[in-house]
């Protein structure tokens, strides 16, 4: 039997320093080795206690969470950090900053952090700590600098919406924010495909996430709304706590959001999106399953393949967590396995080739 995962909890709230260890130590495979009330104490405790995973609050006195994370990634870059984030706009902004600096993942605190409400995040936090402890690579940092105005200007403003050559559905979870930014920022503004993305993320975070992506990408990125058209050069991010499907319509193909029950424990669910894309678009579809825990999307990738679409899984060596791609590959549902640094080129080549084929026909 393996030793329990050693966890350090850094949070300025005395209540959180009590509740989080109580939640974690119910799982026998996790041992909280200590707590710290701010970043200064936290850095000392890292040296003393040698934790395998750190949970980190971002809003703290003296040394806040962002500065603490910078120091951790500088001094202890192989210790994964899970941010325990405030469920506010300000908290979401700080969370995405932390992810860009190399945080492994985040868990959103309930708006009322009393004991009963903290139970709602217990399973999620435990699961992410275990995944963090088993990850092989430090999470890469990404540049979140907005594009110069010259490159951001076009984005389809004043231009008619073009029908896409391909409908590209992407399913992604842990490690997703940085991986998505890496891929989408490499696509040109005249990208001929339409992208629809399910990123496992809580309600209230996806709008800010989409806006941040839009600032650093040549393509348009927005949080999806029911009725949004699938058009070339646009990526639609599914809102947290909604499911997203696609539908062919006489005046243009659209996304439809719903509040159906969770699938594979998730809402949004990658399975829901992939099955819808397979049914509506068949061989015109590309389904991409990327870094993430669990198996969401693995079976439904097979539905896209069976319908004649192209199916792609991210390669193991480029995943922060290999769970979702691994499940799809082991079931034989992935037509191609592509590393992260080749994903944008692959999507561009497939979309351009399909447009050329249609024009020639």
* Residue 336, H or E segment: strand 336-338
Q: Are 250 and 283 contained in the same domain? A: yes
Q: Do 39 and 8 form a contact (C-beta atoms < 8 A)?
A: no
Measured CA to CA, the distance from residue 317 to residue 191 in angstroms comes to 27
Q: Are 260 and 303 contained in the same domain? A: yes
Q: Are 204 and 353 contained in the same domain? A: yes
pLDDT given for residue 266 in this prediction: 94
Q: Do 164 and 232 form a contact (C-beta atoms < 8 A)?
A: yes
Catalytic residue status for 173: yes
35 lies in some domain? yes
The position carrying tokens 């990408």 is 217
pLDDT given for residue 215 in this prediction: 93
144 lies in some domain? no
Q: Find the radius of gyration of the CA atoms of the chain.
A: 21
Q: Are 66 and 122 contained in the same domain? A: yes
Q: Are 122 and 163 contained in the same domain? A: no
Q: Are 162 and 130 contained in the same domain? A: no
What length does the chain have? 361
C-alpha 313: how far from chain center: 15
Q: Which residue, 85, 77, 182, is CA-closest to 139? A: 77
Measured distance between the N- and C-terminal CA atoms of the chain, rounded to whole angstroms:
61
Q: Are 104 and 247 contained in the same domain? A: no
Domain count, the chain: 2
Q: Are 112 and 235 contained in the same domain? A: no
263 lies in some domain? yes
Q: Which residue, 252, 243, 240, 153, is CA-closest to 200? A: 240
Q: Which residue, 80, 82, 102, 98, is CA-closest to 90? A: 98
143 lies in some domain? no
139 lies in some domain? no
pLDDT given for residue 114 in this prediction: 60
Q: Are 110 and 215 contained in the same domain? A: no
Q: Are 286 and 171 contained in the same domain? A: yes
DSSP H helices, 159-231, are 176-184, 206-216
Measured CA to CA, the distance from residue 234 to residue 243 in angstroms comes to 19
Measured CA to CA, the distance from residue 293 to residue 322 in angstroms comes to 7
pLDDT given for residue 116 in this prediction: 58
Domain around 204:
156-360
CB burial of residue 51 (10 Å; 0-12, 13-18, 19+): buried
150 lies in some domain? no
Catalytic residue among 38, 57, 214, 296: 296
pLDDT given for residue 150 in this prediction: 43
Q: Are 249 and 189 contained in the same domain? A: yes
Measured CA to CA, the distance from residue 223 to residue 255 in angstroms comes to 11
Q: Tell me phi and psi for residue 218, to 5 degrees.
A: -75, -30
pLDDT given for residue 149 in this prediction: 47
Instruction: Tell me which DSSP letter residue 249 carries.
Output: -
Q: What is the CATH number of the domain that holds 45?
A: 3.40.50.2300
pLDDT given for residue 138 in this prediction: 66
pLDDT given for residue 133 in this prediction: 93
142 lies in some domain? no
The sign of the dihedral angle between the CA atoms of 54, 216, 198, 207 is positive
Q: Do 278 and 158 form a contact (C-beta atoms < 8 A)?
A: no
Q: What is the CATH number of the domain that holds 237?
A: 3.40.50.180
pLDDT given for residue 147 in this prediction: 55
Catalytic residue among 11, 12, 200, 276: 200
Averages of pLDDT over runs of 10 residues in the chain (361 residues) are 90 92 93 95 96 94 91 91 85 91 90 67 92 78 56 51 92 94 95 97 93 95 97 97 95 94 94 98 97 96 98 95 96 97 96 67 47
141 lies in some domain? no
Q: Are 198 and 263 contained in the same domain? A: yes
Q: Name the 3-class secondary structure at 241.
A: coil
Catalytic residue among 85, 100, 165, 173: 173
DSSP H helices, 79-136, are 89-100, 115-134
Query: Which of these three, 134, 166, 196, is where a domain ends?
Result: 134
């Amino acid at each position: 039997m393996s030793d329990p995962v050693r966890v350090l909890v850094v949070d300025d709230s005395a209540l959180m320093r009590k509740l989080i260890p109580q939640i974690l130590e119910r799982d026998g495979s996790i041992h909280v080795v200590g707590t710290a009330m701010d970043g200064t104490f936290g850095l000392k405790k890292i040296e003393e206690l040698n934790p395998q995973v750190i949970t980190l609050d971002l809003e703290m006195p003296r040394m806040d969470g962002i500065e603490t994370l910078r120091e951790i990634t500088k001094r202890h870059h192989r210790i994964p950090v899970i941010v325990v984030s405030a469920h506010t706009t300000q908290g979401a902004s700080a969370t995405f900053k932390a992810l860009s600096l190399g945080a492994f993942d985040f868990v959103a605190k309930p708006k009322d952090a009393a004991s009963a409400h903290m139970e709602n995040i217990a399973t999620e936090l435990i699961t992410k700590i275990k995944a963090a402890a088993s990850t092989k690579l430090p999470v890469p940092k990404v540049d979140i600098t907005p594009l110069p105005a010259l490159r951001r200007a076009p984005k389809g403003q004043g231009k008619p919406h073009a029908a896409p050559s391909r409908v590209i559905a992407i399913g992604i979870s842990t490690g997703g924010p940085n991986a998505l930014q890496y891929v989408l920022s490499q696509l040109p503004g005249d990208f001929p495909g339409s992208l629809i993305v399910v990123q496992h993320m809580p309600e209230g975070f996806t709008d800010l996430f989409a806006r941040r992506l839009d600032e650093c990408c040549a393509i348009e990125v927005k949080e999806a709304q029911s009725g949004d058209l699938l058009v070339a050069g646009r990526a639609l991010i599914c809102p947290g706590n909604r499911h997203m499907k696609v539908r062919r319509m006489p005046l243009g193909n659209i996304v439809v959001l719903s509040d159906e029950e969770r699938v594979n424990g998730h809402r949004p669910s990658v399975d829901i999106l992939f099955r819808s894309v397979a049914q509506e678009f068949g061989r015109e579809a590309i389904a991409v399953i990327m870094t993430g825990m669990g198996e969401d999307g693995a079976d439904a990738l097979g539905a896209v393949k069976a319908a004649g679409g192209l199916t792609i899984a991210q390669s193991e060596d480029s995943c922060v967590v290999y769970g979702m791609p691994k499940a799809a590959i082991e079931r034989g549902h992935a037509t191609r396995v592509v590393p992260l640094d080749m994903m944008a080129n692959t999507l561009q080549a497939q979309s351009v080739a399909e447009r050329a084929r249609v024009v020639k026909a």
